[in-house]
A and B are shown apart, each in its own frame.
Chain A
């Protein structure tokens, strides 16, 4: 059988830095092929070469046995390659049908007028096997991420794509939506479309893929059959070292650090009440949209509660992030780029931002002192590359996360609020973040972890609050934390 796609000896350098060293990738027709590797392994570069966004320095691309030149996104589309980006590239104000036909509008009247009716009919036909509930005349703006993804897939089918590359497609999907995606992928592969599936989530890779190619530091490590290869072996191959499977240790004490009573905002969060103890890691589980993130934002003062009260060590803190930070709370947000980092500023500035008064004398910032403190904090968490004067935007997601955690350590934060602490972070850095959370607890701080990944919640938490439709539906003690118990309380009746 001729392979659908064969990449051979692909090399790419940015200036003196070689990012791909002779990488190969072979994908069969109708196959779901995992592309695995830590952040910085070269997955994105490879996908960008495949979709014509960047040029390669060397190597060859063959589709169905014939050599093809891919010099631009247009040529990639013509060759039958489509890419579903993590951040969907759509025009929110245009309709579903218009987005599907973006750049390739159907025309009538001698090409002068866009034939909307024909586009809509075709779009409906394309969407029928994928998700018939999507209204092709509605603007994309109003769709959920999962639906927008399906629209993107329909667009790929419209362009007769033979190879669809999906970059972290499930990073903002609920479990139910993931199931929907699984069905869609099956429909596609049944038609002979090949899928390149990039994900950090091993359970998904093992569910969907038949083969996986593993990259590390821009080199091809190997291709392994899935699911025959054990998960642990795949992960070890990816990171090049064995991950410590540390069993959970609890540092929870009886001392109540924070009391939350009847906290609420609209219908997003209703009547949330719980205590948080020093040294405790409190997990918050639940589906996307169940109010987990919203609850954290209320605690951090980012949004204003319209009901209930909070006490930190018996004191009621004021409103707004500044007052809450003063009271000892610090938010490590899910959307690092949007809510966390100041991209162009050095790591040291990002760390010092909430506690400038500590680094200021006579109105002037003590830069050397700030740098020394930042280095001290970042040495402990192994910031890579170790240079706190570099803009934070030039670091990988995991290292940015370390800097944001460092920010709150520098501010003497006692209550850490983590929202999806390992989203978009590779497997190796994940373990480091877990270690950090444990260390925070060991130091007598309290930690709240919101996470969509059940293994994560189960691994880090002493206690788990499960949220459902804005309310806390269950509190699970140390010996009650199981996937089944979380799922039972998370899913609406």
Chain B
């Protein structure tokens, strides 16, 4: 403990998030017979996968001192463009690549306006929120795109050793994000730029490229989430992804990401996503009305932040 205080502190924070998850799960396990069954647990993971995908990118953006409100519409635009390519007969890998490129390009655009344009991340991505949604709606005329080929759908609807492919995909992406954040110079740059942009610049950190990378990863992750979703649904709706940004920010915050930048945890964000997913699943099992589910979500977020505040003060001393 004393030899690696920083290490133990990060673990301490993640352990706290995990404890929260365990407590919530215990309550549901007592109240419902179905909750702890294997199909239901896998179901929770599957339901959390999309949010987790978005939240991973969001976490990196938040750590680098920004915010990305445009993730939902970026997902929608990537979804409809990808779907249009698939329906037009473009080979599946190429269509997926096209959709991912769309997401990354939207992220690049956000990042470019924030860095070279010198605009506030909140405002830029708020603009993006409308802009990308509008493009998706205009392109489709507001109609969903149906008829996605089975070859594409098989990929997202399949499973690996009993685990649904979306969960496997997110697990791999989370591992990648964890490696980027904790093991590569880019991760160190994310934390430096988010922690103190001016000091980072003076220390020779390529601040502009770092921010661009964060937003591009976020856009890319939104596109991945879009592919997973339209594979499952079999159609791409231009309105998909509404309010995704809020779930993702909530998961990152529950997981310990500081909206001031500089701090956050991939593991924490993942557990945060599962907490939100568990809550929805458990409350649905208990037949709690949707309105009350929303109430519970709000309370969990605020309670998590209060606990965070109360404990981090003591840790800091």
Contacts and interface: CB of A to CB of B under 8 A. Distances in A.
A338 B204 contact: no
Interface stretch (A178-186, A254-262, A349-357, A445-453): A349-357
Contacts of A322: 204-206
A15 B191 contact: no
A346 B317 CA distance: 16
A60 to B, nearest CB: 26
B198 A339 contact: yes
- Specify which of A300, A325, A356, A364 lies most central, judged by the most chain B CB atoms within 10 Å of its CB: A356
Nearest to A356: B185
Interface stretch (A28-36, A159-167, A385-393, A459-467): A385-393
Contacts of B183: 364-365, 367
B184 A365 contact: yes
A360 B185 contact: yes
Nearest to A352: B188
A364 B187 CA distance: 10
B6 A321 contact: no
Contacts of A387: 3, 5
Interface residues of A, number: 37
Contacts of B201: 302, 321
Interface string A328-350: 00010100001111111110011
B32 interface: no
Nearest to A350: B203
Interface in B136-182: 179
Contact of A349 (B4, B184, B188, B317): B188
Interface in B1-28: 3-7
Given A14-B317, A302-B201, A364-B184, A344 B262 contact: yes
A342 B5 contact: no
Interface string A19-60: 000000000000000000000000000000000000000000
Contacts of A346: 6
A333 B201 CA distance: 12
Interface string A265-296: 00000000000000000000000000000000
B6 A391 contact: yes
A343 B196 contact: yes
Interface in B229-268: 262-263
Given A364-B183, A365-B184, A338 B199 contact: yes
Contact of A390 (B6, B185, B191): B6
Interface in A305-330: 321-322, 325-326
Contacts of A148: none
A363 interface: yes
Given A338-B199, A342-B199, A344-B262, A389 B191 contact: no
Nearest to B198: A339
A343 B195 contact: yes
Nearest to A340: B199
B85 to A, nearest CB: 32
Contact of B200 (A326, A342, A352, A360): A342
Interface in A462-491: none
Contacts of B213: none
A4 interface: no
Contact of A357 (B7, B185, B191, B317): B185
B203 A344 contact: no
B88 interface: no
B200 A344 contact: no
B262 A340 contact: no
A407 B317 contact: no
A389 B4 contact: yes
A321 B200 CA distance: 10
Q: Taking each of B183, B185, B189, B202, which has the highest tally of chain A beta carbons within 10 Å of its own beta carbon?
A: B202
B203 A353 contact: yes
Contacts of A331: 202
A363 B184 contact: yes
A345 B195 contact: yes
A352 B184 CA distance: 12
A417 to B, nearest CB: 10
B5 A321 contact: no
Nearest to B193: A342
Contacts of B263: 344
Contact of A407 (B185, B188, B203): B203
B5 to A, nearest CB: 6
Nearest to A404: B203
Interface in A101-121: none
Interface in B208-240: none
B54 interface: no
B192 interface: yes
A353 B6 contact: no
A321 B202 contact: yes
A353 B195 contact: no
A353 B262 contact: no
Nearest to A363: B184
A55 B199 CA distance: 34
Greatest chain A CB density within 10 A among B6, B192, B205 is at B6
Given A353-B188, A365-B183, A387-B5, A338 B203 contact: no
Nearest to A324: B204
Contact of B204 (A339, A341, A354): A354
Contacts of A390: 5-6
A354 B184 contact: no
Contacts of A354: 203-205
Contacts of A357: 185
Interface string B106-125: 00000000000000000000
Contacts of B202: 300, 302, 321, 331, 333, 339-340
9 contacts: A15-B317, A300-B202, A321-B201, A342-B195, A343-B196, A344-B263, A349-B192, A350-B203, A365-B188
Interface of A: 14-15, 300, 302, 321-322, 325-326, 331, 333, 338-346, 349-350, 352-354, 356-357, 360, 363-365, 367, 387, 389-391, 407, 411
Given A321-B202, A342-B262, A345-B188, 17 more contacts: A15-B317, A321-B201, A342-B196, A342-B199, A343-B196, A343-B262, A344-B262, A345-B262, A349-B188, A354-B203, A365-B184, A387-B3, A389-B4, A389-B7, A390-B6, A391-B6, A407-B203
Q: Shortest 9 CB-CB distances between A and B: which pairs? A: A356-B185, A354-B204, A325-B204, A342-B195, A353-B203, A322-B204, A342-B192, A364-B183, A354-B203
